[in-house]
Structure 1
Amino acid sequence: MKTTIRRRQIGEIPLLEVVPLDQRNAPLPLIVYYHGWQSNKELNLTQGRKLAKVGFRVLLPDAMNHGRRKQAISAIPSLTFWQSIQSNLFEFGAIIQHFKQLNLILDDRIGVGGTSMGGFTSSALLTHHPEIKVASCMMGSPTPIQYRERLIEHASRSFNRFVPDDLRDLTAWVDRYDLSTQVDSLAGRPFLIWHGERDWRVPYDQTAGFVKDNNLLDNIIFVHEDEDHLVKTETMDMMTTFFLGHL
């Protein structure tokens, strides 16, 4: 199936829309897919094309501070990271509303996914958006509180960087969007998690712990491999098959 790419601007949000060429103006199941830290929407085009080729409308937005919205990284450890995720959360509703108004979402079939920082985003969105039917998290984390603690310790002890004493309060919104503390919000929705066992950026153990704590939930599909912080083509194909089977 041939696909086409359209550049769109929704308010301040630049995004790429990847869609089957002959269905570009028809309602289709929609997937919003988020990129990783210090990445951009273009670097998700391979995944976007794979999903579009099997019949999805795929939206690849640039997160705040990234891509066409790139800004300098704050000297305060992790500040820009959390700001970027929070902006994704702020903007998700605007993206969905825009495509609903264009009548381009088929039967309210909405999915989300993301790589690394984008996986943090997709996991967090599940806590507040029951309209999402299916989600994936590729080497991100459904445990952002634990990850925040790791960043604080890493910055202060390993690099002797200044960390505000009240950083936890300054990022208190993270507590409300941590899927591991409100797993009931999944409500049976299919959730694919992929993580490399040798991941050196986002700890594998935190993700594996989340899955272990919720091992009775058969809607959580956990795939882990002997990889580091890298999503390969075969993993993209696996995720495409997952969305095709559930959305």
Structure 2
Amino acid sequence: MSIIVIEKAMATIPVLELIDDNLATQKLPLVVFYHGWTGCKEKVLTQGYELAKKGFRVVLPDALYHGKRQEGKTEEHQAEFWKIVVQSVKEFPDLIKAYERTIGYTKLGVSGLSMGGITTCALIASYDWIDAGVCLEGSPHPVKFANALLKVIPKANELPKEFVKEQLSSLDKYDLALQSEKINKRPLHFWHGTADEMVPYKLTKEFYDEIKDKPYAANVTFTTTQGAHHKVSYATTIEMADKFETYFK
């Protein structure tokens, strides 16, 4: 097996594509994996590699204001965090159509860590044609999480009220917790560490506990790592890749 990494732009979005060289011309399951806040596509190469080893075509995009799309320091865009997530959701169909027009795919999965996990949940809430997802240390509660973030963002009280309203007003339709029936029996896995200091473990666990016995959540699973902080371990990466292997093979 030889995993190759191709840097390209798909639908004007900078991406890295990982694929087993022997399978490069075949129509395969496609998994899009999103990096976290202040990260970039290169920082999630480990996750991409483990997925590609399973025989998938893997796409690692740069989010708005990150990687090759960076404008100044990413940290300067902290108040636009939700704009970044929403932009990834809005441009997702164009990214997938670009693959449909070229090599195609058999199944479609989404995953990501931290901000990328939040994006994953928002994508599941938005598009019923996604087949499966894995959320790593993200949150299905963007509305609640956004309000919590406003309390800790430096000088948040100095932000124009209209700007804050604009950033938050559109989140309802991307909030999986407000429309969890949209999971619709699709495989969806969550991983979260109990000591996560960035994205609250409690919100994700409460969401899972609320829906786990619902018929539409029959294929939703959750893994807790006691004492784990805001960092995805290699073991968790392996678990994520194994989940998609189960889902798609």
Q: 1:78 to 1:146 in 2, by over 3 A?
A: farther
Residue 114 of structure 2 corresponds to 116
- Aligned counterparts of 1:80 and 1:170: Cα–Cα separation in 2: 7
| Mapping for residues 69-148 of structure 1, pairs under 5 Å | 69-72=69-72, 78-106=78-106, 109-148=107-146
Say whether the 8 Å CA contact 2:79–2:153 is kept in structure 1: no
Q: Secondary structure at the match of 1:185?
A: helix
- Is the CA contact (8 Å cut-off) linking 2:66 and 2:74 kept in structure 1? no
Task: Give the deviation of 1:13 after TM superposition.
Answer: 0.7
Q: TM-score, normalised by structure 2?
A: 0.92
- Report the 3-state secondary structure (helix = DSSP H, G, I; strand = E; otherwise coil) of the residue aligned with 1:104: coil
Counterpart residue identity of residue 33, structure 2: Y
Q: Secondary structure at the match of 1:28?
A: coil
Contact 2:135 / 2:190 at 8 angstroms: preserved in 1? yes
Larger helix fraction of residues = 2
Structure 1 letter corresponding to 2:188: F
Report the Cα distance in structure 2 between the residues aligned to 1:160 and 1:78, rounded to whole angstroms.
Answer: 10
Q: TM-score, normalised by structure 1?
A: 0.93
Report the residue type matching 2:135 in the other structure.
C
CA distance in 2, matches of 1:57, 1:51: 8
1:236 matched to 2:223? The reply is no
- Unaligned 5+ segments in structure 2 are none
Tell me the number of residue pairs that the alignment of Structure 1 and Structure 2 aligns.
243
Q: What are the equivalent positions in structure 2 for 1:26-45 lying under 5 Å apart?
A: 26-45=26-45
1:189 paired residue number: 186
Gapped runs of 5+ residues in structure 1? none
Displacement of 1:147: 0.4
Q: Is the 8 A contact 1:33 1:118 kept in 2?
A: yes
**Alignment match, 1:60:** 60
Indicate how the Cα distance of structure 1 residues 73 and 212 shifts in structure 2: closer, same or farther if over 3 A, else same: farther
Q: What's the offset of the Cα at 1:168?
A: 3.5
Q: CA RMSD in A?
A: 1.8
Name the residue aligned to 1:204. 201
| 2:177 matches 1:180 | yes
- Identity of matched residues, %: 33
Is contact 2:143-2:175 (8 Å) kept?
Answer: yes
Distance 1:59 1:150 in 2: 31
Do 1:25 and 1:104's aligned partners in 2 also have CA atoms closer than 8 Å?
no
Partner AA of 2:198 in structure 1: R
Distance in 2 (CA, whole Å) between partners of 1:104 and 1:49 is 20
* In 2: Cα distance, 1:236 partner to 1:147 partner: 24
Shift of 1:164: 3.2
One-letter identity of the residue aligned with 1:163: L
Match of 2:160 among 161, 164, 177: 164
Secondary structure at 1:105 match in 2: coil
8 A contact 1:34–1:115 mirrored in 2: yes
